[in-house]
Structure 1
């Protein structure tokens, strides 16, 4: 029941009803990645899309699927033996906008104090 309500009123959680209908009508299942994202292409067409497993976060698309999604390669990773290159790092979630986001020392969102400034910098104060 909740899944149906989420499909009706949210676009960031999996798929919408419109995407479900379009996928049913014109989609051809291509494969699934290790994160549970499902990839489709239009039958007889050029469109390609992904239905995310959970929140719609583009950074969860692995490198092999990213190349296929953006038409850089024609063969999806399921139709070939794909091995990540040595320079390709494993996926890391994008934490921007969450409590887990990177915050450098001195940020107003961290408990640490800003490091003392060294050198000849002197702060301006009004009335001097």
Structure 2
């Protein structure tokens, strides 16, 4: 417990910041939780006069880990949270996949210097630059 609190104090990407913790304690009304363990809150008003909505992540702050139904609620696309309705995922909605940038699973297009194999030869539609040419 103490280690988690220290991480939250000294890092902004782990769960919640001290400011979020204080705002949640003071104004937060728990709305629900998603399948990833992220907890959603509302309370107070934002600069446009709407009810403020926020999420406390279960682990590192990864905005793409918010499921589609909760994303719509967070961005005021709907006033009804997925916890208050029977939200059905549409067939075209894909499950969350962590961003692989900077990992061995990152996308490396054909010819990338980070990819396997050799770069394709120049076809003649342009001349590659070389020093003193």
Compute the TM-score of the two structures, normalised by the length of structure 2.
0.85
**Counterpart-to-counterpart distance in 2, 1:108 and 1:125:** 17
Show the 5 A alignment for 1:30-45: 30-42=31-43
User: Is 2:106 aligned against 1:105?
Assistant: no
SS of corresponding position for 2:58: coil
CA distance 1:5–1:78, change in 2 (3 Å): same
Counterpart CA distance in 1 for 2:115 and 2:67 is 31
Quick check: 1:37–1:52 contact (8 Å CA) kept in 2?
yes
TM-score, structure 1 as length reference: 0.88
Match of 1:66 in 2: 71
Any idea what the Cα deviations from partners look like across 1:3-24, whole Å, max 9, x if unmatched? Answer: 1110110011101122112111
Q: Unmatched 5+ residue regions in structure 2?
A: none
- Distance in 2, matches of 1:63 and 1:52, equals 15
Moved more, 29-38 or 87-96: 87-96
Partner residue, 1:47:
52
Partners of 1:110 and 1:124 in 2: CA distance: 22
Corresponding residue of 2:12: 11
Q: Where does the alignment leave 5 or more consecutive residues of structure 1 unmatched?
A: none
Aligned-pair Cα RMSD in Å: 1.9
Deviation above 6 Å: which 4+ runs of structure 1?
Answer: none
